[in-house]
Amino acid sequence: MKDITVVIGNYNYARFLREAIDSALANVPASAGSGERVRVLVIDDGSTDDSRAIIESYGDRVTPVFKENQGQSSVYNLGLSLVQTEYVLFLDSDDILYPEAIGEVLRAFESGDYAKVQFRLDVIGEDGMRTGVRVPNSTPPSDCAALLRRGWLYPSPPASGNAYRVSALRSVFPIPMSLHHRKAADFFAIYGIALTGAICALDNALGGYRVHRKAEDKRGHSVGHAGLSLGNCEDVSEVERSFPWRWQTLRHMIRTRLGEDLPEHFIDFSFEKNRLCVRLYDAPTTERWHWLIFESHRYFTSLVRNPYWSLGKKLGVLGLTLLCLIPNRQANNFALRYISNPAARFAAHGSAAARG
């Protein structure tokens, strides 16, 4: 019997929660003879909206857990301690799974000795409509561990696009709890799991990643700035602040639980492009030139040496980056929006795809 638990973590997302639960339940086999068992565990992290009533309305179709608010990391830690299945998928309560998702994930696990199966997600707007963008944009090799040991973070979808072998994830978890570690639990799962076994990356989209909050960066509030980010939890400035201590925490987890030492510094284009955008968006031409000439070494290293990208993609991003040297703020901001978030091309037309 192949079995998996879909753990839905929720905090004050009543407006999306029912759609998330329904999408998980749509993956539960109609008959016991299907050879698959799918459980749905909903952990509410101290919501103050109507989430509890929504969860309770499902009766015994889901297993509910209500707890005080401690952040996403506490949901991952608790969920992993409660699951009794071989595999687990953590679904954010503002995202959805497609009806065929779990079946394809379980078939992938059965096809090899994988610690994780990941799949692409369609980016959807607040109304659930697909934007035409999928994440991630690149496919990692099955052995991501070798590159991670050199500091390279591999391409992965956000939380909802990853399913894990429970025993492998437990060898790395739990996440140390502190005020710093309340969010972004998927970072530790996604990269920690790579050191426990091979990863299977499915190219087809099996779910939807909902983008519904305008991002803010340190320069202000605008549609353009919203287009700089594709995440709901953090803007581009917060990413720059948070990633270094996340990496150090992951290093600690790997050292103490797996006995390995990761490099002191990580290399990741997603992180470096955030630094680029924070520095150069709406910046004067002289400031852009100065940063690109004197302070951009890590950015260009993460671009030129990127082991996951084709030469054509590298040249395309390099060309967009060089647009920032042109003394035209409109061209500069367009290039930065496109580098940071390809979905931002919809922002110019007022699409929800640029909500971040």
User: For 118-162, what is each residue's pLDDT tens digit?
Assistant: 999 999 999 999 988 899 988 898 789 999 999 999 999 999 999
pLDDT at residue 143 in the model: 83
All structural domains of the chain with their residue ranges: 2-210, 223-354
Rounded to 5 degrees, what angle do the CA atoms 247, 140, 254 make? 30
In the prediction, which pLDDT does 235 show? 58
Query: What pLDDT sits at residue 188?
Result: 96
Q: Which of residues 215 and 204 earns the better pLDDT score?
A: 204
pLDDT value at 322 more than 80: yes
Query: Greatest CA span in the chain, whole angstroms?
Result: 68
Note the pLDDT tens digit of each residue in 82-97. 999 999 999 999 999 9
Query: To the nearest whole number, what is the mean pLDDT of the chain?
Result: 88
How much of the chain, in percent, has pLDDT values that exceed 90?
A: 72
Token pair 């979808």 in the structure block, residue: 157
pLDDT of residue 3: 95
Pairing of strands 114-124, 96-97: unpaired
* Count of all residues that appear for the chain in the document: 356
CB atoms within 10 A of CB 96: 25
Predicted local confidence at residue 119, as pLDDT: 98
Transcribe 59-108 into DSSP letters. Answer: GGGSEEEEE----HHHHHHHHHHH--SSEEEEEETT-EE-TTHHHHHHHH
pLDDT bracket for residue 228 (50, 70, 90):
low
Q: How many CA atoms lie within 13 A of 33 on its CB side?
A: 0
* Structural domain 2-210, CATH architecture: Alpha-Beta Complex (3.90)
Q: E strands of 190-320, at which residues?
A: 198-210
Long-range contacts from 345-351, C-beta under 8 angstroms, 24+ separation: 346/131, 346/132, 346/133, 347/223, 347/224, 347/226, 347/227, 350/223, 351/125, 351/131
Q: Identify the weakest region by mean pLDDT among 16-30, 36-50, 52-66, 335-349.
A: 335-349
Tell me the per-residue pLDDT of 103-114, one tens digit each, with 9 for 90 and over. 999 999 999 999
Integer Cα distance of 124 and 127 in angstroms: 8
Q: pLDDT category, 269, cuts 50, 70, 90? A: very high
38 Cα distance to chain centroid: 23
Q: What is the pLDDT of residues 151-175, one digit of tens each?
A: 999 999 999 999 999 999 999 999 9
Strand, helix or coil at 245?
helix
pLDDT of residue 220: 42
**Residue of 278 and 105 predicted with greater confidence:** 105
Structure tokens at 287: 């400031």
Is residue 10 within 8 Å of 42, Cβ to Cβ? yes
DSSP 278-296: HHHTT--HHHHHHHHHHS-
